[in-house]
Each structure stands twice: as structure tokens, then as C-alpha cells.
Structure 1
Amino acid sequence: MRIISGTYKNRKLFSPADNKVRPTSDRAKETLFNILNNHLDFEGIRCMDLFCGTGNLGIECISRGAEKCYFADMDVSLVKKNIEKLGAEDKCIAIRTDSVSFLRNYSDEPVDLIFCDPPYNYIHYEELIDCLKNLETFTVLEHSEILYLMMFIKILYF
């Protein structure tokens, strides 16, 4: 697992030793950021990496010029290790909390981009989307294949 572009390009990140965290692959991350490059200028943005695990996505934003990234996870030991490895402590805030609570209690400056990559067995999508839908920010939400489009329609329009 490595940083694709920017200040920390080609730097390797610490990966989990077990299967509790499933980092986004380099290939998937590169594809995602190619798409995002058509919609965002990363220079100076503020972002969130929810269910961050290794911090792979948020750190990629920092490498590309983001001003600040908030990382939220129930275990932030790996993301903190990666932030320290790169010397990016001044731009990164890692908070040990569940992501829904973090969103509900967040009152800092607005953010421009949110990555939300819950675990495969995550079941609280309705709560999560309810927190996200009023933020008016560009959000990338990964979901399992069991999450159906009809659920999104119900949450967003009813």
C-alpha cells in the first residue's frame, strides 16, 4: 500500500497484520482519485476519512495538497503510525470514535470531501446517511453489495 501522487508519492504505508482492516487497494485508489481529479482541486481542501483504518484515502488527499484531514475510527493506532511515518501530524487529526458519533458531534469548519468506507458487515447505513445528507459536501460512500439502491431512495427522499 503506497501513496499514489503528490508530496508523499511512492511512500509506503503501514498495513494491518490481520484481516480486521481492509485497505483500499492501490489500483482502486488510483481509479477513485482519477475520477475525483475531474471534480476537485485538492489544494487547500479539508476532508474527512471515516472508518479510516490505515488512513490511506485521507493521507492521499494530504499528499495532494489538502490543508487538513480528520480521521475517525474505533482504532486509530494504524493511521497514527502512518501519519507519524510521513511527518504529517500538523495536517492530520485522528480521533478514536465511531464515525456516526463523530459526524453528529462535528462542529469545526466545513469540509470539502468525505470518504466513508465502513466495514463489510456494517449495518447502520441509515444513521450514517442521515448524518451525511445535510452536510452539502462531496461524499464518497463505499457500501457492501447487499445495500440496495431502494434503501438510498428511501433515506434521501422520504
Structure 2
Amino acid sequence: MRIIAGQHRGLTLASVGKGDTAAHLRPTPDRVRESLFNVLMGHGMPQGARVLDLFAGTGALGLEALSRGAVHCTFVDNGRIAQKLIRENLTKARRTGDAWVLTTAADRLPAAPAPCDLVFLDPPYGKALGQGALLAAQAAGWLAEGALVVFEDSAPQAVQGFTVLDNRRYGDTHITLLSPA
């Protein structure tokens, strides 16, 4: 797994290894990330964006956004192995100064210090955790007006109070782009 483009292009990220089966670590494959970021560029993202990476896992999505010009990323994951991988990857990329790692459940976020323009939401497949986490992030002030939400799951997603902008399928992965209504 590596950073696809931008400032850190080609940087090899920390290996998940055996990972944490209980946490369902499932990094977004390079080819899916590359396609996703091509779509995001059409929306003017992530250049200059503040990013929230919920269920961050290895942090690959948030790190890709930082590499491509995001100004800050908050990584959220309550798994110890995931937190270790995120910190290791931030250190490798020398991005610890413009990133935070929150060690909390994605649906229990503290109040946001500043709203985010781009939100990655990649919950464990089949656990129905994503919608609650997105609504909690919105309630805690993490979503900027007109924020773009990237919801990755095993099926297309719709969330009450959000407009579906696009749906893409990559094998068993579905990417749904949403925006607050």
C-alpha cells in the first residue's frame, strides 16, 4: 500500500500485517483510492480542505488527501492497532504537525475545533456503523456547509438529511458521495 499522488507520491505505508480481525481492518486498495481521488478532483477536493477520516484504519485516505494538498486531517479510530498504524504512517510522511489522531469511537466525537470540508467514512462492512457516525459528526460540528462525504461500504448508502451526489462500484466496494441537504 502506497500514496498514489501528490507530495508523498510513492511513499510506502506501514503494513497491516495480520491486522486486527476484530476491528476489520480493510485498507482501501490503491486502485480504488486512485479512482476516488480522480472523482474528488472534479469536486475541487482535497486541495485546501480540512479533512475528517472516520474509521481511519491505516489512515491511507487521509494521508492521500494531505499528500494532494489538504491542509489538515483528523483521523478517528478506536482500535489500538489502527492508531499505531496511523501514527506510524504520519511519522513516515512527516505530517504529524498537520494531523490529529482521535482515539475514540466514530460516533462519540467531541465538539469540532473547526468544520471539515471533506469527510471519509469507511466503517467495517455489514456492521451498520456509518450512518450513526456521520450524523454524530454533523451534530458535533465536524461538517462544513457544503461538505463532501465519501461513504465507503459494501452497498450504496443513503443517509437522511444528505443528498446523494454520486455512486461508484469497485468490485465489492461501493463509494457513495454525499453532501448535507
Q: Post-superposition shift, 1:44?
A: 2.2
Match of 1:12 in 2: 12
Deviating more after overlay: 131-140 vs 47-56 = 131-140
Answer yes or no: is the 8 Å Cα contact 1:133–1:156 preserved in 2.
Answer: no
Q: TM-score, normalised by structure 2?
A: 0.75
Answer yes or no: is the 8 Å Cα contact 2:40–2:46 preserved in 1.
Answer: no
Match of 1:108 in 2: 113
Q: Kindly provide the amino acid, as one letter, of the partner of residue 100 in structure 1.
A: D
SS of the residue corresponding to residue 49 of structure 1 reads: strand
SS of the residue corresponding to residue 139 of structure 1 reads: strand
Give me the whole-angstrom Cα distance separating, in 1, the residues matched to 2:112 and 2:31: 34
Residue segments in structure 1 that go unaligned for 5+ positions in a row: none
> Relative CO higher for 1 or 2, CA cutoff 8 Å, sep ≥ 6?
1
Percent of aligned positions that are identical = 35
Number of aligned pairs?
A: 150
Q: Residue 53 in 1 paired to residue 60 in 2? A: no
Give me the whole-angstrom Cα distance separating, in 2, the residues matched to 1:15 and 1:120: 21
Match of 1:140 in 2: 150
Taking only aligned residues, the RMSD between alpha carbons, in angstroms, comes to 2.0
Give me the whole-angstrom Cα distance separating, in 2, the residues matched to 1:41 and 1:144: 24
Match of 1:118 in 2: 123
SS of the residue corresponding to residue 142 of structure 1 reads: strand
Match of 1:84 in 2: 91
Q: Kindly provide the amino acid, as one letter, of the partner of residue 71 in structure 1.
A: F
Q: Post-superposition shift, 1:61?
A: 0.7
Give me the whole-angstrom Cα distance separating, in 2, the residues matched to 1:120 and 1:7: 31
Match of 1:128 in 2: 133
Q: Post-superposition shift, 1:123?
A: 2.3
Deviating more after overlay: 9-18 vs 38-47 = 38-47
Match of 2:75 in 1: 71
Q: Post-superposition shift, 1:156?
A: 3.4
Q: Kindly provide the amino acid, as one letter, of the partner of residue 8 in structure 2.
A: Y
Q: TM-score, normalised by structure 1?
A: 0.85
Q: Post-superposition shift, 1:92?
A: 1.1
SS of the residue corresponding to residue 135 of structure 2 reads: helix
Residue segments in structure 2 that go unaligned for 5+ positions in a row: 163-181
